[in-house]
């Protein structure tokens, strides 16, 4: 079987930084309380009129800045997002049309915060089936458009941003090993965003903004991140000791700490950047992985474990052997950092 993995990556976050102090100035909360409960110090907010397709295009342009040939042979585009510009045309198609991929197969994938890793799994399947040669997978969000900015329980958590990866053939011994995907709609009332129906099938009423029961989401997240991580390691014939880096969904520092403890991997091997970006849903794993490659933590040949959970309630875990041979897949040089 062909070895399939990530061959190029890019990222983009809006320039506007919103700190905990900004929330403290207008809400009944404190910067210290937010950081102690979530691990978040700041997040990025898109300006009015900037939407998910703009974020996705920004991530792809960063990819092309790092590797001008990165989109060669890409014939399919997947955009994982919970905040699409429109139900149709797909955000994937809108991005494709602006980055030279008009005519490529394009579709959106909605699995909330699990979306990017779900998308990597879909990309591998399309390539192994012979349907695609290379697939551009984007995880991008403007969550500030669906979150009530006056709700202390949710506004402090979420930010905007995007990451992308080109998936294609990699040398033997590298790339994706196994995936575990799951979802359980029984948890839907704990985390939801309305589209057409005013209520969920069980009768839960949905308003115009995203709804969340933080306590229930916390319990669910710790359990499924730990369980799915253990499942995919077992499926891959690996143990926690084999893992060099965990790249988790960046929702809450307490969730990450409790989850990695469940599969016996120390925080020193866990990539965390939510302190600077908050929860960017479908984008978090892509942003965390891109930054860990940039700063030299993730290196060629290392064993990675990717885990995420999200609305649905959904979950996903993946194992992969990192291939660092792509032009955009090494640590940033000082010159590249200066022009970033």
Name the residue with tokens 């669906």.
146
> How far, in Å, CA of 311 to CA of 248, rounded?
16
- Contacts of residue 28, Cβ cutoff 8 Å, sequence gap at least 6: 152
For residues 39 and 253, is the Cβ–Cβ distance under 8 A?
A: yes
Is residue 249 annotated as a catalytic residue, yes or no?
yes
* Catalytic residue (one of 79, 113, 164, 230): 113
Strand duo 211-212 + 74-80: pairing = unpaired
Strand duo 245-248 + 105-109: pairing = unpaired
Largest CA distance in the chain: 56
Is residue 20 annotated as a catalytic residue, yes or no?
no
Between the CA of residue 8 and those of 129, 169, 273, 319, what are the distances in Å?
21, 11, 20, 18
Work out the number of other CB atoms within 10 angstroms of the CB of residue 133: 14
Is residue 279 annotated as a catalytic residue, yes or no?
yes
Residues designated as active site:
113, 249, 279
């Amino acid at each position: 079987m062909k070895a399939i993995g990530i061959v190029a990556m890019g990222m983009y976050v809006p320039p506007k930084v919103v700190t905990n102090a900004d929330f403290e100035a207008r809400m009944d909360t404190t910067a210290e309380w937010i950081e102690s409960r979530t691990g978040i110090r700041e997040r990025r907010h898109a300006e009015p009129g900037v939407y998910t397709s703009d974020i996705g295009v920004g991530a792809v342009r960063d990819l092309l800045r790092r590797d001008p040939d990165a989109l060669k042979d890409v014939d399919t585009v997947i955009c994982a997002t919970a905040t699409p510009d429109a139900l149709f045309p797909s955000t994937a198609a809108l991005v494709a049309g602006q980055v030279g991929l008009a005519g490529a197969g394009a579709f959106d994938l909605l699995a909330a915060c699990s979306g990017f890793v779900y998308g990597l799994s879909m990309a591998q399947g399309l390539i192994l089936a012979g349907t695609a040669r290379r697939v551009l997978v984007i995880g991008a969000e403007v969550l500030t458009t669906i979150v009530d900015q006056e709700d202390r329980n949710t506004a402090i958590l979420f930010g905007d941003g995007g990451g992308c990866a080109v998936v294609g053939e990699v040398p033997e011994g590298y790339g994706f090993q196994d995936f575990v995907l799951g979802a359980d709609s029984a948890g839907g009332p704990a985390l939801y965003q309305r589209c057409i129906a005013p209520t969920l099938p069980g009768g839960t009423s949905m308003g115009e903004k995203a709804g969340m029961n933080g306590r229930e989401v916390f319990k669910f997240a710790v359990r499924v991140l730990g369980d799915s991580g253990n499942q995919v390691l077992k499926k891959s014939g690996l143990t926690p000791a084999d893992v060099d880096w965990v790249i988790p969904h960046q929702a809450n520092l307490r969730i990450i700490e409790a989850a990695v403890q469940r599969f016996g991997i120390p925080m020193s091997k866990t990539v965390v950047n939510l302190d600077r970006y908050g929860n960017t849903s479908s984008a978090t794993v892509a942003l965390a992985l891109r930054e860990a490659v940039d700063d030299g933590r993730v290196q060629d040949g290392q064993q990675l474990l990717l885990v995420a959970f999200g609305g649905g309630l959904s979950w996903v875990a993946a194992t992969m052997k990192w291939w660092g041979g792509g032009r955009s897949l090494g640590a940033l040089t000082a010159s590249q950092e200066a022009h970033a």
